[in-house]
Amino acid sequence: MTNKFRTIFCILFCILFTLPSHAEKNSSTRYIRKYKGLAIEEMKKFKIPASITMAQGILESGNGNSTLARKAKNHFGIKCHKGWKGKSMKWTDDAPNECFRKYNSVNESFRDHSEFLAGRDRYASLFKLNITDYKGWARGLQRAGYATNKSYSKLLIKIIEENNLHKLDDKKLLAEKGIQYFDPNFVQPSESEFEAIDISGAKRQIFTNNKTRFIFAEAGDNFNKIAKDLNIYAWQVYKYNELNKKDKIVAGQMIYIQAKKRKASSKTHIVKQNETLYSVSQLYGIKLKNLCKKNKLDKDSYLYEGQQLKLR
């Protein structure tokens, strides 16, 4: 083999064997970006290191791509066990057609994982460890029999260190960066922040935001009443606001009477306390799916105070 062909062969060999690792790394990065806020919320409530929750989720669900994760929203491989009264799914793991828990959302899976560890005596010793001791937690999970893989703790530690997940457990570091995670509550701007541009036949004040007309809901409003007052169809009201027809409307809520835009006039938004992706989409008159796409987030992703969102 000539030096020229030897060089080409070596390059091709390196490309072929490094592509999977890069793909896996990118997949883990997306998973972490999407669920780290949720893991920190669980850490605050149950004192389980967020690094451990994230590493287990990455490992057990294959970055959210496993069949169990996709079909059952089960990100931690938790089996039914005695006393489970929820939904289930048959899946072959250690034995054929084993019973695994099935959830309505990924959020439910994360919460059940926390309750599963906190509610069993065999994991009790882990909660005596320092919350930053991810190695102790990883080894303790293996000793307690969370998984049958003899390298389970090593795999968790490797995932944590390769992705710097241990930083999620450092309360001081999070505080220094001004990061505070919180439960999502609906947030709306004040009517005084906008100037009315028109008034409907039913004497409803009409405002504009991002070149899109909207109103502020009043007490007793519902989709049918708003549609009648604004001379449009009820389906347009809940479609334009990305709501379900069974959703309740509260007084002060921004309700668009035209379809929102794909992008906002502002370039970015800095998240404030209690804001959600939906409330931000309403605030700027941008479609929720477009806001999620611009930031590579799921519509249920947790936001943290100080986080920067792209709007254009």
CATH number at residue 164: 1.10.530.10
Which 8-state DSSP code applies to residue 26? H
Query: pLDDT, tens digit, for every residue of 104-123?
Result: 989 899 999 999 999 999 99
Confidence at 182, pLDDT banded by 50, 70, 90: very low
> Containing domain of residue 153, as a range?
15-78+105-176
* Together in a domain, 25 and 137: yes
* Together in a domain, 56 and 109: yes
Report whether 256 contacts 213 (CB < 8 A).
yes
**What share of the chain has pLDDT > 70, as a percent?**
85
Residue 97 included in any domain: no
* Together in a domain, 151 and 40: yes
Confidence at 300, pLDDT banded by 50, 70, 90: low
* Together in a domain, 196 and 172: no
* Together in a domain, 117 and 247: no
Q: How far is CA 187 from CA 111, 117, 192, 283, in A?
A: 24, 33, 15, 9
Number of domains present in the structure of the chain? 2
- Amino acid symbol at 156: L
Where are any strands of DSSP class E within the chain? 87-91, 98-102, 198-199, 205-209, 212-216, 254-256, 268-270, 308-310
Q: Is the pLDDT of residue 179 over 50?
A: no
* Together in a domain, 133 and 19: yes
Q: Helices 152-162 and 3-46 sit at what angle, rounded to 10 degrees?
A: 100
Confidence at 208, pLDDT banded by 50, 70, 90: very high
Give the pairing type, strands 254-256 and 205-209.
Answer: unpaired
Residue 162 included in any domain: yes
* Together in a domain, 210 and 306: yes
Q: Is the pTM of this model over 0.75?
A: no
The confidence score (pLDDT) of residue 63 equals 93
Q: How far apart are CA 284 and CA 294, in angstroms?
A: 14
Q: How far apart are CA 84 and CA 76, in angstroms?
A: 15
Query: pLDDT, tens digit, for every residue of 227-264?
Result: 999 999 999 999 999 998 888 888 888 999 999 999 99
| CATH code for position 215 | 3.10.350.10
* Together in a domain, 22 and 170: yes
For range 122-149, the mean pLDDT: 93
* Together in a domain, 170 and 209: no
Residue 100 included in any domain: no
